[in-house]
Structure 1
Amino acid sequence: MSGASTYVPKNPVLRWFESRLPVVGLVHSSFVVFPNPRNLNYFWTFGGILAFMLVCQIVTGVVLAMHYTPEATLAFASVEHIMRDVNYGWMLRYIHANGASMFFIAVYVHIARGMYYGSYKAPREVLWILGLIIFLLMMATAFMGYVLPWGQMSFWGAKVITSLFSAIPVVGDAITVWLWGGYSVGNATLNRFFSLHYLMPFMIAGVVVLHIWALHVPGSNNPVGVEVKSKKDTLPFHPYFTVKDGLALSVFMVFFAYFVFFIPNYLGHSDNYIEANPLVTPAHIVPEWYFLPYYAMLRAVPSKLGGVCALFGSILILAFMPWLDTSRIRSSNFRPIYRAFLFVFFADVFVLGYCGSQEPQGAIVLVSQVATAWYFIHLLLITPAMGFFETPRQLPASITEAVLGPRMAGGSGAFAAARTAASPSVDG
């Protein structure tokens, strides 16, 4: 959709370089003149926020790795050294730790936006699947990073989650021993997780490049779900959307800074400020907040293997959304019944998150089971059925009509007539 680059440098040296390696032309065609639907709202700015957060996490992570010691008897002390002795080490660590939460807040909004506006539908199926691969890599990276401080919650969280692989028939025990690097969580486990935690953000960056590439082939979806029909439906990425993304990022950074400088430990757990002790089990082992819905699903199923299948299945099933959703209409704005069910689904995820933060007893277990069942019912039954039984509202003829209305979208003559009709008469 972006087409061939029209960028021609004026400087002869840059022109010579561009004729041999057109990097600047690629950036110009992809991020300057690239046409975007003119009706994109602020939910579309979270892609840029996610790109910024990825860079932030990589930069702070590389600096922190210079001072961290991945050894079981020294890791906890090295984190304290970063906090107390390294210049601005406390800020780097708080940016990195809270940055993971900000990353997941942005990605959950990004996924919810994609589900609400049907951004997974043809021709954007590969784009959606690549986004889910990024999400899985993010989850693996965040889990391994949570282990590195080697506090009580880090150690026992690693033990609980890695033990899940033992539920896999035949090869489960072998996978668990390989992950641990021995027969229990220890120094070898910490070294494995540190090396993978350092590597995976660069893997994420590589898939992000593919994600952007896949986006630029069909172009962005939009709130009404109508494909671009003419140049009148689009605006160049710069300056219109760079300014919009910049404003959204600035607001998000204020939110981020509030956590870093005022409540840096609000999203963490106090037990992680106690050094790991294999002989003392914490009263209540919980993962980070962004894993809580999946943790609730894991505990909702009585069978260990069933819980593991529910956990991984809840993510993998999203990859089939382009085919599970049988409706021809993309945007939920024009699907009132499905929109109501979708809001219930989002509320269901919040309920699962709450259940995951509580001890698994009494009513919490029952609510977790009902919420887990509804999660799969929505995706496997309600979403396909709505495409056959729901009568959607009428779509606008074009994006321009959705923005300006049918009279103004009809052409310059209609627009002029509309302006004349709206203007007060000189004769009074």
Structure 2
Amino acid sequence: MSFPWANEYKPGNGLTQWLDEKLPLPRFVYNAVGAGYPVPRNLNYMWNFGVLAGFCLVLQIVTGVVLAMHYAANAGVAFDSVEHIMRDVNWGWMLRYAHANGASAFFVVVYLHIFRGFFYSSYKAPREMIWLLGVVIFLLMMATAFMGYVLPWGQMSFWGAKVITGLFGAIPLIGVPIQEWLLGGFAPDNAALNRFFSLHFLLPFVIAGVIILHIWALHIPGSSNPTGVEVKTKSDTVPFHPYYTAKDGFGLGVFLLIYCAVLFFGPNALGHPDNYIPANPLSTPAHIVPEWYFWPFYAILRAFTSDFFFIPAKLMGVLAMFSAILVWFFLPWLDTSPVRSGHYRPLFRKFFYLLVIDILVLGYCGGAPAAEPFVMISQLASMYYFLHFLVILPLVSSIEKPEPLPFSITEAVLGKDESAVLNANPAAA
């Protein structure tokens, strides 16, 4: 984002001046996350989750690299190598728990980041590319998390790999060859474990690269804000540093308190006990379930129980599961309302809350056994999920009468006191 009132970077001494001429890294940081980056003055704590997601990625990469030094990607010893990390490696238990719970923390903040985008319509022009790159990041996260879940080589790891890779077998003609190519054979074994370990190690760096593009795309139009009104004058903004670095620092402190509480007092609360049993291809668990952050999509997958004409139920479930995320790519064009913020869209706001409840219901059903009444509830919730994005959202956009928007961000912050607005924004006079 380029504004004429943005603070210009000025090297303070000869060394920084020389560095700015040869490798302008300080200037880049100053303009990206420093006083040279003007940000809307009314951002609330829902805008903290992007920074928290970046912190979680760094945490996952650091702990993952150290864990990889002690892990053996071999079906015969993978489970024992994880136990070796837990029992024999100095602070290995903490690294392993930090990594496992860090994945859950990563998904928590990313889901909150996504729902913030839904409510404030962060996908609308001119920020479509930011949103599209964000959906790509989420897909990469899901692939990375799935492969990481396989690595402990417990019962849930093995059978989760078998079930998820088996989904590709539902694709006509090419499905079975793709499944065998992914596994390196006909069932999860050494080849699959090596491939998943390699990709699990590589993909976080790919995610980091896409995040750089995500931030780059963000800096072109600038940050959105809770009103959805674009920046008009200097009084609408404040420098990112020190205002939002302090705010993000406070948010990070609260996040770390919650994260450390889970890490030290309930490290296995979000895991499955069957994954502490070594993988056994001859013993199928009574209830195969993925990690909690996959549950809404797993419920959509299992919602299809009958063939539809010539289309098998399994293929319908696979297509619906992937479509549940792919539909997000089209949100900038499905939501045609000229107003961004849900605060000024009363009808949209009601349906947004229904969507949140619907996804929570899907999540609960995804973690429940594949039996009634959970299957029927999953079917109804899946139907509403797609109905919301493909029918309700475009319809609401066209018939809704939004509430009046504030004239500017300054007015939204200071209220409708005309003298206060004019004092803070002389250009409005």
Q: Shorter-chain TM-score: what band?
A: over 0.9
From 167, 174, 182, the equivalent of 2:177 is 174
Structure 2 residue ranges without an equivalent (≥5): 306-312
CA distance in 2, matches of 1:226, 1:412: 20
Q: Name 1:426's counterpart in structure 2.
A: none
Contact 1:2 1:30 in 2 (8 A): no
- C-alpha displacement of 1:23: 1.0
CA distance in 1, matches of 2:408, 2:119: 19
Q: Name 1:346's counterpart in structure 2.
A: 356
Structure 1 residue ranges without an equivalent (≥5): 416-428
CA distance in 2, matches of 1:39, 1:414: 15
Q: Name 1:260's counterpart in structure 2.
A: 263
What letter is aligned with 1:175?
A: I
Contact 1:45 1:248 in 2 (8 A): yes
- C-alpha displacement of 1:183: 1.3
1:226 aligns with 2:229: yes
Aligned length: 415
Identity of aligned residues (%): 60
Query: Pairwise mapping of residues 283-294 of structure 1 onto structure 2 (< 5 A)?
Result: 283-294=286-297
1:137 aligns with 2:147: no
Q: Name 1:163's counterpart in structure 2.
A: 166
Query: Pairwise mapping of residues 70-109 of structure 1 onto structure 2 (< 5 A)?
Result: 70-109=73-112
- C-alpha displacement of 1:301: 1.1
Q: Name 1:46's counterpart in structure 2.
A: 49
The two structures have a TM-score, normalised by structure 1, of 0.95
CA distance in 2, matches of 1:151, 1:360: 21
1:22 aligns with 2:24: yes
**Could you give the per-residue CA deviations for residues 12-36 of structure 1, whole angstroms, max 9, x where no partner exists?**
2331121022111010011112011
**Could you give the per-residue CA deviations for residues 296-330 of structure 1, whole angstroms, max 9, x where no partner exists?**
00000120010001000000001100000011100
Q: Name 1:365's counterpart in structure 2.
A: 375
**Could you give the per-residue CA deviations for residues 68-122 of structure 1, whole angstroms, max 9, x where no partner exists?**
0000001000000000000000000000000000000000000000000011000
CA distance in 1, matches of 2:355, 2:314: 25
Contact 1:5 1:26 in 2 (8 A): no
1:411 aligns with 2:422: yes
Runs of 4+ in 1 over 4 A off after TM superposition: none
Q: Name 2:12's counterpart in structure 1.
A: 10
- C-alpha displacement of 1:413: 8.9
Q: Find the residue that maps to 2:39 and give its secondary structure.
A: strand
CA distance in 2, matches of 1:86, 1:29: 42
What letter is aligned with 1:121?
A: K
Q: Find the residue that maps to 1:391 and give its secondary structure.
A: coil
Q: Name 2:113's counterpart in structure 1.
A: 110
- C-alpha displacement of 1:414: 9.8
- C-alpha displacement of 1:187: 0.5
* Residue range with higher mean Cα deviation, 160-169 or 3-12: 3-12
CA distance in 1, matches of 2:281, 2:120: 47
- C-alpha displacement of 1:5: 7.8
**Could you give the per-residue CA deviations for residues 116-149 of structure 1, whole angstroms, max 9, x where no partner exists?**
0011000000000000000000000000000000
CA distance in 1, matches of 2:92, 2:2: 43
CA distance in 2, matches of 1:272, 1:408: 64
CA distance in 1, matches of 2:61, 2:419: 47
- C-alpha displacement of 1:6: 2.5
Q: Find the residue that maps to 1:410 and give its secondary structure.
A: helix
The two structures have a TM-score, normalised by structure 2, of 0.95
CA distance in 2, matches of 1:176, 1:241: 47
- C-alpha displacement of 1:169: 1.6
CA distance in 2, matches of 1:332, 1:13: 49
CA distance in 2, matches of 1:365, 1:408: 59
Q: 1:308 to 1:408 in 2, by over 3 A?
A: farther
CA distance in 2, matches of 1:204, 1:2: 26
From 328, 340, 348, the equivalent of 1:318 is 328
**Could you give the per-residue CA deviations for residues 148-174 of structure 1, whole angstroms, max 9, x where no partner exists?**
000000000000000000111211111
CA distance in 2, matches of 1:236, 1:9: 18
